[in-house]
Each structure stands twice: as structure tokens, then as C-alpha cells.
Amino acid sequence: QNLVEEQQSQLNQYECAAGQCLSELQKAQLQKLQEKLNEMECELRSIRQAAQSQERTIRGLTESQNTKDREAEELYQLVEGQNTMLCKLREMAHRNQLAHQSVTLAQLQGELVGVQSSLFSLGLDLEASQRNLRLSQRQGDDLMKFKDRLNSDLQEALQHREATEKHNQDLRCALQKTRAELQSKEAALKESEAERYAVVQEKDRSITRLKRSLQDKEQQLQEYSEMLESRGSSKSRDALLEKLRERIKDRDRALERSIDDKFRCVEEREGQVRRLQLALREKERDLERLRCILSSNEETITSLHSSVRGKELELEQAAEAYRNLQWLKQQSEEKERNTLREKDNIISQLQAALQKRSQETQDMTAALVARVQAGPTEVVEELKARLALKEKLFQELLSDRSRQSNEHQVQVQDMLNNLSSKDQYLQVGHCMLEQLVSEYNKLNDALRVEKRLYQNLVQNHNKTDSLENLQTLHTELDSVQAIRTQLEEVLARTRNMALALERADKSQPDFGGGDGQGQPPGLQGKLSLMSCDFLSDHSTLE
């Protein structure tokens, strides 16, 4: 009986140790889950930062669009300026035609204009000479005043110089006295510092000598102590070990003899009683375990129902966000296409207008060259140079405008490609979410089956208490174990799917120049929450 009680106490200790191990395992799993949650939070932060960077890129694109609109307005203004220049050229050509028709009248008018211009120039020269004379008089007066001021300032400066020379002499005398005092003090300080330095050097030397001697003595002491310890401890340890070994052997022999005798007596007299007691205890333990598992399974089923509802709501929100994202993508594509069409139309209109204006300028230049051959050649050359310069400027503006439009088209094409890749990735994530939900529903069904089995087991146990019932109970427990293995397989699949989603998320290309994640901001958080719920349900089930 004492041995049975000892074994019972040992079993209780083992059960306590097993419970502690389970609690430690649960704590470790909770820590791992907490670390995964922290990682998911970091990923959410990175997603938010990527979304902010995407907004910045969108702002940059809008700003670039505004700048291009401004450039288009400037081109319109340049075209209007060219139109005004063409109007002026036409007026000049018309005037030249009138001049050819009335040559004699123009000659007389030209002579009259020359006389008037000479008279006007003479009047202007006279007024300029009068102004220069007045300015010279004013400058002379200013020079006299400035000379008087300089004389007064010079006298004041001489007086100040005499006073400063006297003060400088006094300062020199004081400086010489202070220099002599400082030199004497410096000499005394140098002597005292030299004495102190010599004393410090002597002290340092003595300290180094003492340190060396101390180190040598410490090494000698360590060597002596090691030698003494090795001599004394080896002998005493060997004797103690031999004594302990002999005592342990004697105790082992006595224990083996007593245990053999007691086990023989117990097996001969109380074998049947022990079996019955063990069977009853096992039955009670199985009942307690079943009750605990039933309560925990009920809690897990309720939590799974609530989590399934939450996941359904999250799926609806994700689908709605996906629809909104597709709508926004379509709107952005339509806006980009409209802007590109408008800009292409504007560019084509500008090119057509430029071609018309260049043709008109060429015609006007040809007409001017034909009509103004009798006139001065300098005017014609100047007009030709201006027209060539304007044509060159227009060609440069057109090339710059076409280059900018090509760059903008390339950027828009890159954005559309990124949008299409992101759309494909979102579709894949949606399919994987649907698979996860189906696996989650399978898990829920398996838990319900397990609950029903436990209820049937409890009902059968309440009805009868026999060995056949124990056998049926063991078979039902085996079936429950098989269901649990299925649940573990489902959980492993869900974990693998979550890991695949994370890897795909890390390998997703950038979108919009700054978005390092391929999923929308809510999709990855939902996947992380779903995986955490699966792991917590699995831990509670165990």
C-alpha cells in the first residue's frame, strides 16, 4: 500500500509537471503569436507609409500636369505674339506699297522729316549743354563745401592724433612694466612646474616598480595555492568518492531487495483490487477530461462563430474596398486618357497653327523681298534675321513640347501597367481569402462533430458503467483523435497559405513609385488576424 501511495504521489507530481509544461508551451505560443502580431503591425505601418508615398506621387503628377498646362498657355501666348508680328509685317508691306505708288511725295516728305529731325536734334543738343553747365556749377559748389568740411575734419583729426599719441605713450610704459612682471612670474612658474614634473616622474617610477613587484608576488601566490589545492584535493576527493560509491551501492541493493519483496506480496494479494482502482481512477480522469474538453470546445465554438461573423464582415469590407479601388482605377484611367487626348489635340492644333504661320511668314518674306528690292537692303536683312530666329525658337519649343508629351505618355503607361499588376494580385488574394474561409468553415464543422461525439460519450457513460463501456469510450476517443489530426492538417494548410500570402506580398513590385506592398491596406491585416484566430483556437483546443 505504501508503494502504491508513493506511485500515486509520483503520478500526481508527473501530472503537475505535465500541466506546468503545457502552461509553458501555451506561454511560448502566446509569445510567438505576440511577435507575429508585432510583425503584422510593422507591415501595416509600412503599408500606410507606402500609401502616403503613393499620394505624394499622385500630387507630383498633378503638379506636373499643371506645369504642362502652363507651358501650353505660354505657347498660346507665343503664337499670339507671332500673329501680332505678322500683322505688323503686313502693315509695313502695305506702307511699302503706298511708298512705291507715291515716290515723289515720299521723297519730299522724307526731306521735310530730315530737316525737322535736324532741328529737333539741335534743340536737344542745346538743352543738353545747358543742363551740363548747370550740373558743373552745382558740382563746383559741392566741391567747395566738401573742401571746407575736409579742412575742419583735418584739424579735428590732428588734435585727436596728439591726444592719442600721449595716451599711447602712457600705455606703452604700463605695458613695459606689466611685461617685466609677467616675465618674472613666468620664470617662477616654469621653475615650479619643472620641480613638480620631476616629483611626479619619481612617483610614477616608484608606482610602476611596486606594481611589478605586486604582480610577481601574486603570480607566485597563485602558483603555490594551485599546487597545494592539487595535492590536497586529489587525495580527499578520491576517498570521498569511494565512500560515496560504496554507500550508494549498499543502498541500491537494499532498495532492490525490499522493492522485490513488497511487489511480490502486493501482486499476490491485492492485484485485482489495484486493477479495479486503476480502472475507476482512469474512468474518473477520462470523465473530467471530457468535461473540460467539452467546456473548452463550447467556448471555442462560440468564439469561432463570432470570429466567422467578423471574418464575413471583413470579407464584405474587403470586397467593397476592392470595388472602390477598381472604380478609382477606372476613373484615373479615363482621366488620363481624356487629358492625353486633349493634349494631343492641343499639340496638333499648335503644330497646324505653327505650320500656317510659318507658311504665312515665308509668303510675307517672299513678298517683302520682291517689293522692297528698290528699298534699303539692311531692313530686309534685319527682317530675315528676325524671322529665322523666330522659326528657330518655334522649332525648339515644338521639340521640347513633343519630348515632354512622350515622357508623360511613358509615365502614364507605367502607371497603367502597375495598376493592372496590382489588380491581378488583388484577384489572387481574394481567391486565397475565399479558400481560407472555406477551410475555416471545414474547421468549424469538424469542431461541431467533435462536440457531438463528446456529448454522446457523456450520455453513454451516464447510462452504464462497465468494461464494455470503457472499450467503446476508447474507440470514441480514437475517433476524436483522428478528427483532431484532421483539424491540425487544416490548421497547417491555413498557416502555409498565410505564409504564401506574406511571401507574395513581399515579392509584389512597387506601385506608383512608393508603394512597397501589393495588397490593399486592410487585406493583409485581415489575413494576419485570421491566422492569429486559427492559432489561438488550436491552442485552446489542445
193: number of CA atoms within 13 Å, CB side?
6
Q: How far apart are CA 192 and CA 270, in angstroms?
A: 103
Please, what is the angle between helix 2-101 and helix 521-541, to 10°? 180
**C-alpha distance across the termini of the chain, in Å:** 35
- With H, G, I as helix, E, B as strand and everything else as coil, classify residue 464: coil
The DSSP letter of residue 514 is T
Asked if 524 and 426 sit in the same domain, the reply is yes
Answer for the pair 413, 467: CB distance below 8 angstroms, yes or no. Answer: no
Q: Determine the Cα–Cα distance for residues 307 and 539; give it in Å rounded to an integer.
A: 16
The domain boundary residue, chosen from 268, 299, 331: 268
Residue 95 lies in a domain: yes
Over the stretch 288-304, which tens digit does the pLDDT of each residue have? 776 776 666 667 667 66
Instruction: Give the pLDDT mean for 409-430.
Output: 72
Residue 459 covered by a domain? yes
For position 511, what pLDDT does the model report? 41
Helix (H) or strand (E) holding 129: helix 103-269
Residue 540 has pLDDT above 50, yes or no: no
Domain edge (last residue) among 240, 268, 296: 268
Nearest by Cα to 446 from 287, 301, 293, 290: 301
> Is the separation of the CB atoms in 408 and 64 below 8 Å?
yes
Please determine, for residue 164, whether its predicted confidence score (pLDDT) is greater than 70. Answer: no
| pLDDT value for 126 | 63
Q: Are the beta carbons of 318 and 520 closer than 8 angstroms?
A: yes
Average pLDDT, integer, range 527-539: 48
326 vs 318: CA distance, rounded Å: 12
φ and ψ of 511, to 5 deg: -125, 125
Residue 334 has pLDDT above 80, yes or no: yes
What pLDDT is attached to residue 31? 75
In the chain, pLDDT over 70 holds for what percent of residues? 38
Residue closest to 524 by CA, chosen among 54, 50, 44, 32 = 44
CA distances to 140, 141, 428, 463 from 148, in Å? 13, 11, 97, 136
Q: Which residue has the cell 529665322?
A: 388
Q: DSSP secondary structure string, 325-380?
A: HHHHHHHHHHHHHHHHHHHHHHHHHHHHHHHHHHHHHHHHHHHHHHHSSSS-HHHH
- Which residue reads 486565397 in cell numbers? 432
Tell me whether residue 4 is in a domain.
Answer: no
Could you tell me the pLDDT band of residue 512, with boundaries at 50, 70 and 90?
Answer: very low
Q: What average pLDDT does the segment 419-430 reach?
A: 70
Residue 119 to residue 135: CA distance in whole angstroms: 24
Q: Of 13-22, 317-326, 476-485, where does mean pLDDT reach its minimum? A: 476-485
Per-residue model confidence as pLDDT tens digits over 108-145: 555 555 555 555 666 566 666 666 667 666 766 776 77
Distance CA 401, CA 405 (A): 6
**Are 60 and 166 members of one domain?**
no
> Do residues 303 and 252 both lie within one domain?
no
With CA atoms as reference, report the closest residue to 537 among 15, 23, 24, 29. Answer: 29
Residue pLDDT, tens place only, 252-280 = 677 677 667 766 766 776 666 666 667 66
Per-residue pLDDT reduced to its tens digit, 446-457: 666 766 766 666
In a domain, 89, yes or no: yes
More confident residue, 393 or 530: 393
Domain annotation covers residue 12: no
Cα–Cα dist 461/280, whole Å: 13
Within-domain flag for 440: yes
Same domain, 415 and 515: yes
Number of domains in the chain: 2
pLDDT of residue 224: 62
The better pLDDT of the pair 223, 539 is held by 223
In terms of domains, do 70 and 155 share one? no
- The band of 84, judged by pLDDT with boundaries at 50, 70 and 90, is confident
Residue 532 contacts residue 37 (beta carbons within 8 Å): yes
Tell whether 408 and 502 lie within a shared domain.
Answer: yes
Tell me the average pLDDT across 183-207. Answer: 74
Q: State the Cα–Cα distance between residues 340 and 82, nearest whole angstrom.
A: 26
Residues 96 and 108 in one domain: no
CA distance 516 to 46: 8
What contacts 269, CB < 8 A, 6 or more positions away?
none
Torsion, Cα 82 88 90 95, to 10 degrees, reads -170
Cα–Cα distance measured from residue 6 to residue 9, given in angstroms and rounded to the nearest whole number: 5
Q: Is 440 in the same domain as 506?
A: yes
> Do 238 and 226 belong to one domain?
yes
Residue 118 three-state SS? helix
Cβ contacts of residue 301 below 8 Å, gap of 6+? Answer: 444, 447, 448, 451
User: Is the residue at 25 inside a domain?
Assistant: no
Provide the grid cell at 460: 453513454
Residue 212 pLDDT > 50, yes or no? yes
Question: For residues 535 and 181, which has the higher predicted lDDT (pLDDT)?
Answer: 181
The owner of cell 588734435 is 159
- Looking only at Cα atoms, what is the longest distance across the chain? 160
Confidence of residue 191 (pLDDT cuts 50, 70, 90): confident
**Statement to judge: residues 517 and 415 lie in one domain:** yes
Range name among 64-73, 233-242, 330-339 with the lowest pLDDT average: 233-242
Range of the domain at 417: 35-101+286-541
Residue 14 inside a domain? The answer is no
Residues in the chain: 542
Q: Which residue has the higher pLDDT, 527 or 410?
A: 410
pLDDT tens-digit profile of 87-101?
776 676 667 666 555
Give dist(CA 349, CA 158) in Å, integer.
81
Q: Do both 94 and 111 map to the same domain?
A: no
**Same domain as 361, residue 220:** no
Question: What rounded mean pLDDT belongs to the chain?
Answer: 67
- Domain boundary at 268, 303, 333, which? 268
